[in-house]
Amino acid sequence: MKFKRKERGKKLKYFFAGLIAVLVVAGAVWVLATRLEGHPPVIAMDLESDYIPSRIEIPVTVGDKHSGVRKVFAALMQDGREVTLFNKTYDRALAESDDGTGQVDFTLNIDIREKGLQEGEALLRIAAWDRSWRQWFTGNLAYMEKEIVIDSIPPRITVLSRQHNVSQGGSGLVIYRLSEPCEKHGIRVGDNFFQGYSGYFKDENVNLAFFALAHDQGASTPLALFAQDRAGNQGHSGLQHYIQNRAFDAENLVISDSFLRQMLPEFHSVPDFPHDLPLIEQFLFLNGELRRRNDEALLALHVHSENALHWDGGFTALPRAQRRAGFADQRAYIYKGEAVDWSVHLGVDLASTRHAPVPAANSGRINLVDWIGLYGNTVVIDHGFGLMSLYSHLSEINVEPGDFVTKGDIIGNTGMTGLAGGDHLHFSVIVGNVFVNPYEWWDAVWIRNNVTAKLDEIGERIGR
Ligand SMILES: [Zn+2]
């Protein structure tokens, strides 16, 4: 019996020795995997531009999901001098509690006067260490540096063009010089903004902006130039201008059930088309919601306009045509003797013979060829610097997006696609995001006085 007890004791000894060995190995694995992990922290900084203004708050996130963040240091170096922006050692609880990922968020507050920094170049550096036992317990290091430029001076705007006479629904041109390159600049007309473009004059800081007064913007509409530099500093300038009020015509359009039965099927595949509603309700959906969608699509095209003046001289109209509707006609839609809807006609309707060939009003690049709801088959020509012309209700189209057309080239044929009572061309001119009065652009004298004379005069003064 004694012998047996001895045997059991030996077995127990081996068992405990084995268990301890397993625990030691497991502990070593745990230390290697966690305390000795070799992944450095990840630094993410939210800085949009390399140019920073005199005061800025830069959000920074440092994360380390393996062992957590131990220490973060950030500084700006300028002319051999180091200015500390942030220096913090995190205790274990905080570093690992944020959201369980060992991530910490903080803000770098830079105030150049307070920190004694100067205009010009500087180096932003951020270092972060995690809680790993590597590097003799200092942790894995992540390091990031970024060259920045401190710019606290707002851009100055000098207006070079002299006269800015605009009529309601009409167009204008302003030419101005910026004191430095700016990432956003142009002219504000009420709530509308017209981007300025460089590239016409030799001096890259001289810009031109075509702008427009919408048909419903009167003489009290504020006009002001605006520029924002790469650091976000903003400059403003007024400009001498004169706004001419205009009156527009009114027109009644009678809607009959037979007309609706003829025109509605073209729109049956429009998203959300109210198939179950009465015909007139279907029409009201098109004239309201679809019109809004169509105009939004067309008035967004200017962002792709090219930095070039593709056109030259007066624009041409559809030849041998009669005017059927004018610009900014206030339209009432009469159904069974009652006005059921209203809209403003932001183009000119011209009718010639059926399927008459349509010439490009001026030279430019084809920007859009598409079926645009109420406008039917449509072509838009980009004449550059935000100026475009639009041709709608076409039966045939001969051009493709990207084609360059010269004034007078036949781009298609008139028709009655979209919302059209008969074969005609709906012609519009667009400046930026506004439909403008085409009569000005058809008028060579207006173009001479308001566009070419300004470009020539300033070109002579400062060089093209
Ligand atoms: Zn029209």
Q: What is the pLDDT of residues 214-252, one digit of tens each?
A: 999 999 999 999 999 999 999 999 999 999 999 999 999
Q: Is 410 exposed, middle or buried (0-12, 13-18, 19+ CB in 10 A)?
A: middle
CA of 421 to the centre of ligand 1 (A): 10
CA of 196 to the centre of ligand 1 (A): 30
Q: Which value, in Å, is the radius of gyration of the alpha carbons in the chain? A: 34
Q: According to CATH, where is 2.70.70.10 located in the chain?
A: 255-432
Check whether domain 157-246+451-462 has CATH 3.10.450.50, yes or no? no
Query: What is the CATH topology of the domain spanning 255-432?
Result: Glucose Permease (Domain IIA) (2.70.70)
Contact 173, 165 (CB under 8 A): no
Half-sphere exposure of residue 50: CA atoms within 13 angstroms, side-chain side: 9
CA of 272 to the centre of ligand 1 (A): 24
CA of 168 to the centre of ligand 1 (A): 19
CA of 461 to the centre of ligand 1 (A): 42
Can you give the pLDDT at residue 94? 58
The pLDDT mean for the chain works out to 92
CA of 275 to the centre of ligand 1 (A): 25
Can you give the pLDDT at residue 147? 94
CA of 167 to the centre of ligand 1 (A): 21
CA of 347 to the centre of ligand 1 (A): 6
CA of 292 to the centre of ligand 1 (A): 15
Token pair 């519009």 is at which residue?
A: 428
Stronger pLDDT, 170 or 96, i.e. the higher one: 170
Q: Is 395 exposed, middle or buried (0-12, 13-18, 19+ CB in 10 A)?
A: middle
- Residue 113 scores a pLDDT above 90: no
CA of 377 to the centre of ligand 1 (A): 13
DSSP conformational letter for 447: H
pLDDT tier at 6 (50, 70, 90 boundaries)? low
Can you give the pLDDT at residue 102? 73
CA of 162 to the centre of ligand 1 (A): 35
CA of 428 to the centre of ligand 1 (A): 8
CA of 307 to the centre of ligand 1 (A): 29
The token pair that represents 273 in the structure block: 């088309």
pLDDT tier at 99 (50, 70, 90 boundaries)? low
CA of 404 to the centre of ligand 1 (A): 25
DSSP conformational letter for 434: E
Q: What is the pLDDT of residues 28-86, one digit of tens each?
A: 777 666 676 778 888 888 888 899 998 899 999 888 877 788 889 999 999 989 999 99
What is the rounded average pLDDT of the residues 93-106? 66
- Residue 7 scores a pLDDT above 90: no
Q: Is 15 exposed, middle or buried (0-12, 13-18, 19+ CB in 10 A)?
A: exposed
Q: What is the pLDDT of residues 160-209, one digit of tens each?
A: 999 899 999 999 999 999 999 999 999 999 999 999 999 999 999 999 99
CA of 327 to the centre of ligand 1 (A): 9
Q: What is the pLDDT of residues 283-330, one digit of tens each?
A: 999 999 999 999 999 999 999 999 999 999 999 999 999 999 999 999
CA of 437 to the centre of ligand 1 (A): 13
Can you give the pLDDT at residue 282? 97
CA of 374 to the centre of ligand 1 (A): 10
CA of 244 to the centre of ligand 1 (A): 25
Q: Hey, which CATH number is domain 42-150, 2.40.30.30, 1.20.1300.10, 2.60.40.730, 3.20.20.370?
A: 2.60.40.730
| CA proximity to 126, closest of 226, 248, 43, 237 | 43
pLDDT tier at 101 (50, 70, 90 boundaries)? low
- Residue 98 scores a pLDDT above 60: no
Contact 320, 350 (CB under 8 A): no
The token pair that represents 189 in the structure block: 């007309």
SS3 label, residue 318: coil
Can you give the pLDDT at residue 200? 94
Provide φ and ψ at 152, rounded to 5°.
-110, 5
CA of 420 to the centre of ligand 1 (A): 8
Query: Would you say how long the chain is, in residues?
Result: 464
CA of 334 to the centre of ligand 1 (A): 17
Q: According to CATH, where is 2.60.40.10 located in the chain?
A: 157-246+451-462
SS3 label, residue 258: helix
- Residue 136 scores a pLDDT above 80: no
Number of H helices, E strands in the chain: 10, 31
- Residue 95 scores a pLDDT above 70: no
Q: What is the pLDDT of residues 12-28, one digit of tens each?
A: 888 888 888 888 888 77
Percent of the chain with pLDDT over 70: 95
